[in-house]
Structure 1
Amino acid sequence: MHKHRQYRSYQIHGILLVLFLCMSVSGRAQKDFTGKVTYVTSQHVYARFDGANDLQVGDTIFIQTDGQMKPLMVIESKSSYSAVGKPFPGNVVSLGQEVVGRSAITIKAEEKVESEKSVSPDEELVAASDSVVQTKKGGEFKQNIRGRISLSSYSSLSNATSSDSHRMRFSLSLQANHINNSRFSAETYTNFSFLSSDWAAVQDNLFNALKIYSLAVRYQAGEQSEICLGRKTNPNLSNVGAIDGLQFETGSEHFRAGAIAGFRPDYSDYGFNADLLEYGAYIAHQSENEEGAVRSSLAFFNQTNNGKTDRRFLYLQHSNSLARNLFLFLSSEVDLYQNHDNISTNTFRLTSFYISARYRFNQQLWLDASYDNRKNVIYYETFKSLVDQLMEEATRQGVQFRVNYRPFQLITIGFNANYRKRDSDPKSSTSFYSFLSFNQVPGIDATFTLSANVLKTVYVDGSVFGLRVYKDFLDDKLSSAVGYRYVDYRFPGSESSLLQHEAEIDLTWQITRKLALSLNYEATFEKRDHYNRIYINLTKRF
């Protein structure tokens, strides 16, 4: 059981003269439960866990991204072995991907939890990362190795034979801390995915199939120092992305300093590119005790392309609690250099900004708001349909408000509104999403979710309505779900439209505690064409 610390007031002053203040909130402990993703829609993610657990509505589900635990979603409804929720913006998940559910457990039996802590996606990323330094326990390093291997098959079939495709995917996730009780640790998250009909593309460029999101070796040089070699995302610089090279960090309990020298992954295939040299340094502050914590980091980066400076910028990341049940996360990038028409100038221009706040009124009602002006996400792997891609592209950036309300134990209601207006767009984009879940309906022990999404953008206007039913069988060793979506999209400026009926079924068999087999089938019917997608996944955890 891991102690999850809450936060109290601290003050940070930096180059940008930012002042942060936070107030104390109550402490609590956490317990983790492992599972996997069994179904993914444009609005919800379904996850199944290894066995009975203490997870409740409002707890957080995590995924491992670039070697770090990143929050995936907050549970909106659950059964004995499964949970469903709406993923936080920016998350990319696939069927069979391993997840970790964290349940709030009181530290002492006689203590009462007055209210659950509010959860923000970026708060949990920072809190879970803490520091990259692994400390000794009892004067010795303890080996801890865990991982996952999966084999997947993805087939897309239609009445237009030219569009048929079959894809194979092998995945390895490994976290090896203090190998053989030493100072060395290693981690990797790697996928090998290819189309059976396009093996020539793999032979031409291995990185057309091989995607290495994390592959690094770490050495703990001292109590507060660490050296990392390989591809890794630094938790103090989460939005900078993965770095191929050498990272060093040292400092004291509260202040950290680090230096980085390496290369950016290639933007076209995520492989290694020696032309994209980058280097930088950062300082970070973190303070915590039994009452809480606050974290901030400020970095300077210089990125080159073929030996010439391509970008020079400052990166700021900060998280804290402002009051009980309120959490704030902020990240931004300020460009210091610009090269336009071969004319180089030093600038001070805000080019990326993200802020999110989450407030939990009580265990039944919580609200979060965010503003996202970060660059678009590049997907090197995705199983999203055209409808889901259009929806995500229109809703990730801009201002977003979300409300979840659980008036009764068996009912959860949610509403999400998004607004975006860019200078390049002739009109604004809006999206409204709502859902109603009936959790574990007595008598049939199934969960029903009704959903509706209305989207209006520069390029598409439309709506999506859906119904999904989830139920466990055979002492929860077999889980199943069936769903239907009605899609009506119109494309302004043209006569074209997209009208679809989508039906889907998902089955997951928990063969053993660490071995699972899942099958997902989706059928899409249009006026003239129909499409079938079949996804099979076998996952072994160790």
Structure 2
Amino acid sequence: MRKVIPLNKFLFLLCIVPFLLQTSFAQTPEWRQGKVTYVTSQNIYTEFSNTEGISAGDTLFSRNGSIYTPAVIVQFISTRSVAGPSLSGSRITAGDLLFAKVLVDVVADTTTAEPDTTVKTEQEAGVIKTKPPVQDVKITRSVLKGRAAVQSSTTLVNTGTADDQQRWRYTLSLTSQDAYIQGLTLGTHLNYAYSVKEWQRISNAPLNRLIPYDLYASYESEEYGRFTAGRKISKWYPSLGAIDGVQFESGSDALRYGAFAGARPSAMQYGFDFKLFQGGVFVSRSDTIGKGTMENTISFIHQTNSFNTDRQFVSLLHYSQFFRWLSFFASAEADFYRQVPGQSGGTPELTTLYIQARMRITKELQAGVSYDARRNPVYYFTFRNLIDSSFSNPLREGTRIQLNYRPLPYLTMNATAGFRFRQGDGKTSVNFSVYGGLSKLPFVRGSMVYSFARSEASYSVSDNHSLLYRDEVGQDISWSAGVRMYSYSYGSGRLKLRQNMIHSDLNWMFMEKTFLTLSIEETVSKSLTSGRIYLDLTRRF
């Protein structure tokens, strides 16, 4: 077994000390809009004009009128994009708009600017407006921004205390822009998690559980581009995840190019393992065609294990919006390396294909359709057993159709249908769901959401009913309560299982930039009753 570099006290100090030398300024909150650019089975990639004020562990929200619903948990951050997993029940596709609540540093100058009486014509509206006097506001960039959180998850079951479980997680995320010199950014996201039952086993080397998901230094200049060293995810190589090494990016808004060299984190401990060397290059081109836009990115990746070729592939990304009412997204990966007896290499083989189109039919009605065909790539050295690496390798084909209808500002309806086939399955899997949300309920200020989902496969049939109510108490407290009803049928004999769940959530900003979240749920089935208590205390600075 090869040795993975451990995480110890020196790593902890290396992450923290540079940020302790920084200071921060007063901040005010605002909603910042971003667009989903890429969707994988694990992460949602969202691009913003900039990511100042967004930290790992923050939540991205989808918006329905004035109602913001949690959709994505941020795990990885770059200068212009973030990535993270979708929250349970959130249906997100490329082109969707997501919103981050950020704290912006604003220093107002009491000096009032001279009135600007320039007359500007709004061609689309056909009217002339005079620009009113505005107050001169200076925007300053905070030196240090971050987030610290403590989270606890406790599960209790009626089978006895031996099956109870409690887990703790501590998170520290820090980003320092223009640190020490202009253009230098330092960032880190540390995660420390363990269960109470395993503490005695890991207490001899507790810092081995300290995992840096981000640990980097980045320098950017207009003349030379951006250089990044350390562990960081890159939006130009979305399927790779975090990269341990050096990254380079340069070019203009129309043409971007770059390269990287480094390693993959170890699969078991997520530590630094430079025997998993990898490297790659990318080129991205943005074009304007009439009033439409188009962006194409191609990247070439070479991955190794103990410096033996593990995988070689090319990745293609395409996004276009030639009309305001129609957008198109596609991604594909093709593997070039194939190991067969007596020779290596081979002809390219398509391993990933995803196509999506979104259409705005009317102001109230939107539609989307997607096609997904993916194979699991084969890593010839990482997985010595070919059966393990190709267990799910047969082609999986799926088509998904989605309709969103908003007849009134406070009423939203959604319907989704999906069809999926995999070689060897006895029948095509079918799933569909409906969703209805109503805000500004009569006599109350809250909103109500109902959803139903059904999935049919060759081996099981499942139904899911969900009803949720949300409300706010002032500006600092929000709460929700709901019920879910599940039913499952398994196998040819259709073994049936039913579960009912009740849950409630409370979110409270009890101090400035300090938040408390409490979630309680109970699940009841015929033979088992379990409860879960989730507590989150977060401080932003």
Kindly tell me: are residues 500 and 361 of structure 1, through their superposed partners in 2, closer, same or farther at Cα, counting changes over 3 Å?
A: same
Deviation, 1:480, is 1.2
- The residue aligned with 2:77 is 67
- The residue aligned with 1:337 is 337
Deviation, 1:490, is 1.3
Give 1:410-421 correspondences, 5 Å limit: 410-421=410-421
Contact preservation (8 Å) 2:152, 2:536:
yes
Contact preservation (8 Å) 2:55, 2:74:
no
Deviation, 1:221, is 4.8
- The residue aligned with 2:520 is 521
Q: 1:88 aligns with which of 86, 92, 102?
A: 92
Contact preservation (8 Å) 1:57, 1:74:
no
Query: Runs (4+) of structure 1 moved beyond 6 Å?
Result: 1-6, 29-38, 57-62, 71-75, 204-208
Comparing 317-326 with 335-344, greater Cα deviation is found at: 335-344
Q: Find the aligned partners of 1:325 and 1:60 in 2 and give their Cα distance.
A: 26
**Larger-Rg structure:** 2
Aligned length: 446
- Unaligned regions of 5+ residues in structure 2, if any? 1-29, 36-48, 104-118, 126-139, 378-395
Contact preservation (8 Å) 2:150, 2:169:
yes
Give 1:222-301 correspondences, 5 Å limit: 222-287=222-287, 293-301=293-301
Comparing 246-255 with 456-465, greater Cα deviation is found at: 246-255
Q: Does 1:435 align with 2:435?
A: yes
SS state at 2:236 partner: helix
Deviation, 1:476, is 3.3
Q: Find the aligned partners of 1:36 and 1:407 in 2 and give their Cα distance.
A: 36
- The residue aligned with 2:537 is 538
Contact preservation (8 Å) 2:334, 2:348:
yes
Measured against aligned partners, the alpha-carbon deviations of 1:47-100 in whole angstroms (never above 9, x if no partner) come to 69xxxx99646999765331144488999xxxxxxxx9834269xxxxxxx944
Q: Find the aligned partners of 1:415 and 1:204 in 2 and give their Cα distance.
A: 53
Deviation, 1:302, is 0.9
Give 1:425-464 correspondences, 5 Å limit: 425-464=425-464
Contact preservation (8 Å) 2:192, 2:209:
yes
Contact preservation (8 Å) 1:366, 1:405:
yes
Contact preservation (8 Å) 2:148, 2:173:
yes
Deviation, 1:247, is 0.9
- The residue aligned with 1:349 is 349
Comparing 220-229 with 331-340, greater Cα deviation is found at: 220-229
Contact preservation (8 Å) 1:237, 1:317:
no
Kindly tell me: are residues 345 and 436 of structure 1, through their superposed partners in 2, closer, same or farther at Cα, counting changes over 3 Å?
A: same
- The residue aligned with 1:171 is 171
- The residue aligned with 2:153 is 154
Comparing 250-259 with 327-336, greater Cα deviation is found at: 250-259
Contact preservation (8 Å) 2:60, 2:73:
no
SS state at 2:189 partner: strand
Deviation, 1:145, is 3.3
Measured against aligned partners, the alpha-carbon deviations of 1:407-448 in whole angstroms (never above 9, x if no partner) come to 122211111111111114232211111111121203111211
Q: Find the aligned partners of 1:449 and 1:3 in 2 and give their Cα distance.
A: 25
Contact preservation (8 Å) 2:76, 2:84:
no
Kindly tell me: are residues 292 and 511 of structure 1, through their superposed partners in 2, closer, same or farther at Cα, counting changes over 3 Å?
A: farther
Identity of aligned pairs, percent? 27
Q: Find the aligned partners of 1:142 and 1:170 in 2 and give their Cα distance.
A: 27
Deviation, 1:295, is 2.2
Partner letter of residue 284 of structure 1?
Answer: S
SS state at 1:440 partner: coil
Deviation, 1:199, is 2.1
Q: Does 1:304 align with 2:304?
A: yes
Deviation, 1:239, is 2.3
Partner letter of residue 190 of structure 2?
Answer: T
Q: Find the aligned partners of 1:2 and 1:446 in 2 and give their Cα distance.
A: 21
Q: Find the aligned partners of 1:253 and 1:211 in 2 and give their Cα distance.
A: 35
Contact preservation (8 Å) 1:466, 1:483:
yes
Q: Find the aligned partners of 2:75 and 2:414 in 1 and give their Cα distance.
A: 27
Q: Find the aligned partners of 1:34 and 1:55 in 2 and give their Cα distance.
A: 23
Partner letter of residue 86 of structure 1?
Answer: S
Deviation, 1:2, is 11
TM-score after normalising by structure 2: 0.72
- The residue aligned with 2:489 is 490
Q: Find the aligned partners of 1:512 and 1:54 in 2 and give their Cα distance.
A: 28
- The residue aligned with 1:324 is 324
Q: Find the aligned partners of 1:113 and 1:204 in 2 and give their Cα distance.
A: 69
Contact preservation (8 Å) 2:60, 2:100:
no
- The residue aligned with 1:386 is none
SS state at 2:422 partner: coil
What RMSD in Å do the two structures reach over aligned CA positions?
A: 4.1
Partner letter of residue 64 of structure 1?
Answer: V
Q: Greater RCO between the two (CA within 8 Å, min separation 6)?
A: 1
